[in-house]
Amino acid sequence: MTYAAIKGWGKCLPPAKLTNDDLATFLDTSDEWITSRTGMKERRISHVPVSELAYVACERALAAAGKTAQDVDLIVFGSTTFDELCPNAASNVQRMLGAERAACMDVNTACTSGMYSLTTATAMIKSGVVRSALVIGAEVISPIMDWKNRDVAVLFGDGAAALYLEASEQKAGVLAESLGCFGESRDILAVEGWGMKYANKGRVLGDAHWNFIGQEIFKKAVAGMAHGCESTLAKLNLTAEDISLVVPHQANLRIIDSLAKKLSLPSEKVFVNIEKYGNMSAATALVAFVEAIEQGDVEAHSHILIPAFGGGLTWSAHVVYFDLKPRAESTSNVQLPATNKSALTLVEEIIQATS
Ligand code: ACO
């Protein structure tokens, strides 16, 4: 049987940090409210387009795998904030990397896009269509954020992560997953003004109204992720006790706590980095997974459970297996272009451009 082993991993977080106190300078909110209701302390604001974040994350993933761009058969780019819809974003990353052999596709399932991209690439490797792939979860959501709306503006940040996958005859990579969508509830997480439906309607792109029903999303997120986890564990004949680490989508610390309680998972098995980055949509789960590997939290013979949910309302839960403790072959010296702009300045520029 062929598996799709995860041989490389990398992330790219833009340097500018937007703190809760920064948000309180232009929104009626406070560090106390945001911290106690969400667990978030700061998030990143990008000074470059999403493809550049993705490119740097890919260079780092290739270096960790000890591979070059010539080794890549496929690039799957998961996001909701593609720089362009045509040509696609994966082709831009292909060009920046010089990965001319790679087929290129974009995937949009909102916040689960990185995880659906992982499924797409894994399935194509397992079925023999390709032998290697770069999987990207990346988002630059700040230019389209509804910065006047405190219900959502405090929740999101920008970032990117990438994995390099390769065909292997050893048991490795995604062993099973469950995917689904609560389509009947799609309107509780909607962004008005974002998409072709609004073309030629006299609207400035970026002038978007985020219509979220937070408490309903909260309940659906816990229900979808819990169901996904139970169904994936059942496929593999595993129980929660067999899981070494859970790396959940980071949308709200209270959602993560509710999920852990529902699945009877002890908090020491649950990876959390929400305080540093907030919710980076498509990048969130993959950035957390990459960070768990980089921190040495992934051991040999470990099963990692990764539940996620997003607009749609899509949900997913993957079990990933490592036979050996993951170790990077090398590191990349590719960096983002420098900026001296603060996150608050970047946000103020966006607000000015869209008002
Ligand atoms: N600062 C201060 N007060 C606020 C803020 C804020 N940023 N946002 C809302 N409030 C106020 C509300 O207006 C409300 O005031 P009221 O009682 O006078 O009416 C009060 O705080 C409580 O609001 P609730 O909506 O009841 O707060 P709740 O505890 O449900 O937390 C939250 C809101 C954080 C949005 C939560 O419901 C949540 O996390 N929901 C799901 C998360 C989500 O939507 N994430 C995006 C998903 S996208 C993705 O990952 C797919």
- The answer to whether residues 22 and 343 touch, using CB atoms and an 8 Å cutoff, is yes
Ligand 1 pocket residue status of 252, Cβ below 6 Å: yes
- The answer to whether residues 46 and 53 touch, using CB atoms and an 8 Å cutoff, is yes
Residue 206, pLDDT > 80, answer no
Rounded distance between C-alpha atoms, residue 117 and residue 136, angstroms: 7
Residue 61, pLDDT > 90, answer yes
Q: Is 229 a catalytic residue?
A: no
Question: For strand 159-168 and strand 245-246, is the pairing parallel, antiparallel, or unpaired?
Answer: unpaired
Per-residue exposure over 86-103, b if at least 16 CB sit within 10 Å of its own CB, e if not: eebbbbbbbebbebeebb
284 Cα to the center of ligand 1, angstroms = 19
What count of Cα atoms within 13 Å lies in the side-chain half-sphere of residue 103?
12
Ligand 1 pocket residue status of 37, Cβ below 6 Å: yes
Q: How confident is the model at residue 197 (pLDDT cuts 50, 70, 90)?
A: confident
Q: How confident is the model at residue 355 (pLDDT cuts 50, 70, 90)?
A: confident
- The answer to whether residues 135 and 119 touch, using CB atoms and an 8 Å cutoff, is no
The 10s digit of each residue's pLDDT in 101-127 is 999 999 999 999 999 999 999 999 999
For residues 313-336, give the mean pLDDT.
97
Q: Tell me the two tokens of residue 33.
A: 């409210």
Smallest CA separation from ligand 1 atom 46, residue: 251
32 Cα to the center of ligand 1, angstroms = 13
Rounded distance between C-alpha atoms, residue 141 and residue 326, angstroms: 31
**H-helix or E-strand containing 3?**
strand 3-12
Smallest CA separation from ligand 1 atom 13, residue: 151
Ligand 1 pocket residue status of 110, Cβ below 6 Å: yes
Question: Reduced to 3 states, what is the DSSP secondary structure of residue 71?
Answer: helix
Find residue 307's DSSP bridge partners. Answer: 317
Smallest CA separation from ligand 1 atom 15, residue: 151
- Contact residues for 249 (Cβ-Cβ < 8 A; gap 6+): 111, 112, 221, 225, 279, 284, 285, 288, 307, 308, 309, 310
Q: What is the percent of the chain with per-residue pLDDT over 90, rounded to a whole number?
A: 94
The reply to whether 175-322 shares the fold of 3-170+339-353 is: yes
For residues 242-258, give the mean pLDDT.
98
Per annotation, catalytic residue among 20, 249, 252, 318: 249
Ligand 1 pocket residue status of 154, Cβ below 6 Å: yes
For residues 195-213, give the mean pLDDT.
85
Residue 198's pLDDT is 87
Ligand 1 pocket residue status of 198, Cβ below 6 Å: no
The CA dihedral of 77, 250, 252, 46, to the nearest 10 degrees, is -60
Question: Which of 210, 215, 281, 273 has the alpha carbon at shortest distance from 245?
Answer: 273
* Average pLDDT over the chain, rounded to an integer: 96
Q: What is the percent of the chain with per-residue pLDDT over 70, rounded to a whole number?
A: 100
Ligand 1 atom with the shortest distance to the CA of 150: 7
Residue 215, pLDDT > 80, answer yes
Residue 354, pLDDT > 90, answer no
Ligand 1 atom with the shortest distance to the CA of 151: 8
- Contact residues for 225 (Cβ-Cβ < 8 A; gap 6+): 248, 249, 259, 307, 308, 309, 315, 317
Ligand 1 atom with the shortest distance to the CA of 284: 50
Structurally, what CATH architecture does the domain formed by 175-322 represent? 3-Layer(aba) Sandwich (3.40)
* Beta-carbon count within 10 A of 204 CB: 10
Ligand 1 pocket residue status of 191, Cβ below 6 Å: no
For residues 224-236, give the mean pLDDT.
98
Ligand 1 pocket residue status of 218, Cβ below 6 Å: yes
Ligand 1 pocket residue status of 26, Cβ below 6 Å: no
Q: Is 111 a catalytic residue?
A: yes
Q: How many residues does this entry show for the chain?
A: 355
Q: How confident is the model at residue 208 (pLDDT cuts 50, 70, 90)?
A: confident
Q: Tell me the two tokens of residue 112.
A: 């689960």
Ligand 1 atom with the shortest distance to the CA of 311: 51
Q: Is 303 a catalytic residue?
A: no
Give the residue extent of every domain in the chain: 3-170+339-353, 175-322
Rounded distance between C-alpha atoms, residue 69 and residue 57, angstroms: 13
The 10s digit of each residue's pLDDT in 174-195 is 999 999 999 999 999 999 989 8
- What angle is formed at CA 25 by the lines to CA 23 and CA 26, rounded to 5 degrees? 80
Question: Reduced to 3 states, what is the DSSP secondary structure of residue 181?
Answer: strand
Ligand 1 atom with the shortest distance to the CA of 29: 1
Residue 204's pLDDT is 77
Per-residue exposure over 63-74, b if at least 16 CB sit within 10 Å of its own CB, e if not: bbbebebebbbb
User: Which CATH number fits the domain 3-170+339-353, given the four candidates 3.30.9.10, 2.30.30.110, 3.40.47.10, 3.40.50.720?
Assistant: 3.40.47.10
For residues 29-54, give the mean pLDDT.
98
Lowest mean pLDDT among 80-84, 191-195, 206-210, 212-216: 206-210
Q: How far is the first Cα of the chain from the last one, in angstroms, to the nearest whole number?
A: 56
The residue type found at 108 is: N
